[in-house]
Amino acid sequence: MDTTVDLDTFSSLVERPDEGARRGAEERWQQLAMPRDGLGRLQELGAWLASARGERELRPLTSTRVLLFAADHGVAALGVSTLEPRGGTADRVRAVLDGTAPVAVLARRYGADVRVVDIAVDADPNEFPEDVVRHRVRRGSGRIDVEDALTADETARAFRTGMAIADEEADAGTDLVLLGDLGVGATTVAAVLIGALCGTDAAAVTGRGSGVDDRTWMVKCATVRDALRRARPVLGDQLALLGATGGADFAAITGFLLQAAVRKLPVVLDGVVSAACALVAQRIAFRSPEWWRAAALTGEPAQAKAYDRLTLTPLHETGVTMGEGVSAVLALPLLQAAGDTLAEPAAVPHAKPLPPRVPAKLPTAADLLDRY
C-alpha cells in the first residue's frame, strides 16, 4: 500500500474565510440599536461564523456535531494517569455512548449530536457499535518514550481517516464541529508534540493531566523528556513526527482539521490534544487556524503554549480540566447566541433577504488522494 501523503497540497487548498461575509456581518452589527461593541465577544464570533460559512446573512446554527476521537496510548502503562491504563478509555467511550458522560449530557442540553470514532482503543471491537469502530486503525499504540507509536502505514491510514471523516461531516451538512478526544495517557503525548514544536523542555509542557500527584508528575515529566529526544530528529516531517511520538488519534485529528479547513467547516478545539494536533496542522497549512476557535484553557501548560503559537484566544473560562469535549460544548451557547443575534432578520430595518449561496465544489479526501 502507498503510505505517502502529499502534505504540501494543503497549503494551496486551505483558503482564508470569506472576508466579504465578515465585513457584511460587521456592517450588520452596526445597524443594530445598541452601543458600539455592545455585544462584546459575540460580535467577533458572529463575524467569524459568517466568514467561515461564507454567509453575508448568517443562518442560525442548526447542525452541530460533537466529534470525539478515542484511542489508547502505550505510555499509559507507565502510570502517568490516575485512570486505569487498561480499560479506562473503553469505559469512557461506553459512558459517552450510553449518555451518562458529562459531554453527552451537555450536548443534549444544547442540541448537539455526539459522534465517537474509535481510532485505536485497546479493546475488543465487538464491544462497540459498528459505526464507532469502522474507522479503527489498530489497538492502542507504541510507548513513545522507547518506540514509535505507529508504523508509517498506520500513520498515513489514520491521517487519511481523519480527512474522510471531515468529508463525511461536511457532506452531511454539519455547520460546526466541537472537537474532543477520549484516551488515557493522551495529555502526555500532547505535551511531547507541543514541546517538540515549540522547542521547550519537558518540565515546561508537562501538566497534571487527570490530576496526578507530584511523584507521578515526575514520572510523566521523565517520559516526556525521553519522548522529546525521539521527536526532535523528525521535526521536519509532520507525518513522521505523528508516527514516532503521536498516535492514531493525533494523526486522525490532524488530518481532520486540515480537511475540515479545505471543506470550509468551522471547528472549536477542546483540550490539549486538539491543541497539539492544531499546532501540527498549522505547520502544514499556515492559514488553517483561521477556521478554528479555542474553547478554553484546561490548565495544561502545553495547551497555553500551543494557543499562543496559534494566536487563538479561549472563548470562556470555567475551570474545566477534564477534556473529553466538555469545554468545547460549553462554548456552544456563545456561538449559538452570536449566530442567532446576527441572523435575526427583524433586527435590521427593511432588510432584504439575500439569494441562497450555491457552495463551490470543494475537493474531497478522495479527490486529494487521487493526486498522490
Residue 363 lies in a domain: no
- Pairwise CA distance, residues 261 & 109, whole Å: 27
User: HSE (CB half, 13 Å, CA atoms) of 316?
Assistant: 19
Question: Is the Cβ–Cβ distance between 320 and 327 less than 8 Å?
Answer: yes
For 107-175, the DSSP string reads HHHHT-EEEEEEEE-SS-GGGS-HHHHTT---SS---TTTS-SS-HHHHHHHHHHHHHHHHHHHHTT--
- Residues 293 and 226 reside in one and the same domain: yes
Residue 306 lies in a domain: yes
- Residues 205 and 248 reside in one and the same domain: yes
Q: pTM for this one?
A: 0.90
- Residues 317 and 281 reside in one and the same domain: yes
Residue 1 lies in a domain: no
- Residues 351 and 229 reside in one and the same domain: no
- Residues 50 and 180 reside in one and the same domain: no
- Residues 39 and 184 reside in one and the same domain: no
- Residues 235 and 95 reside in one and the same domain: yes
| Catalytic residue list contains 324 | yes
- Mean pLDDT per 10-residue segment, the chain (372 residues): 74 94 86 77 92 87 96 89 75 96 97 97 94 96 95 97 97 96 93 96 84 82 94 95 97 98 97 96 96 94 95 92 92 93 56 53 74 59
Residue 40 lies in a domain: yes
- Residues 248 and 99 reside in one and the same domain: yes
- Residues 30 and 69 reside in one and the same domain: no
Domain, as residue range, for 43: 10-59+339-355
φ and ψ at 267, to 5 degrees? -135, 140
How many residues comprise the chain?
372
Residue 370 lies in a domain: no
Pairing of strands 176-182, 267-269: parallel
Q: Which CATH number does the domain housing residue 250 bear?
A: 3.40.50.10210
- Residues 36 and 135 reside in one and the same domain: no
- Residues 133 and 157 reside in one and the same domain: yes
Report helix, strand or coil for 70: strand
- Residues 24 and 103 reside in one and the same domain: no
How many independent structural domains does the chain possess?
2
Out of 55, 168, 324, 344, which one is annotated catalytic? 324
Instruction: Tell me what pLDDT residue 122 has.
Output: 94
Residue 362 lies in a domain: no
Question: Is the Cβ–Cβ distance between 159 and 254 less than 8 Å?
Answer: yes
- Pairwise CA distance, residues 372 & 367, whole Å: 10
Residue 318 lies in a domain: yes
Residue 365 lies in a domain: no
Question: Is the Cβ–Cβ distance between 306 and 286 less than 8 Å?
Answer: no
SS3 content of the chain, % helix, strand, coil (to 5): 55, 10, 40
Q: Which CATH number does the domain housing residue 27 bear?
A: 1.10.1610
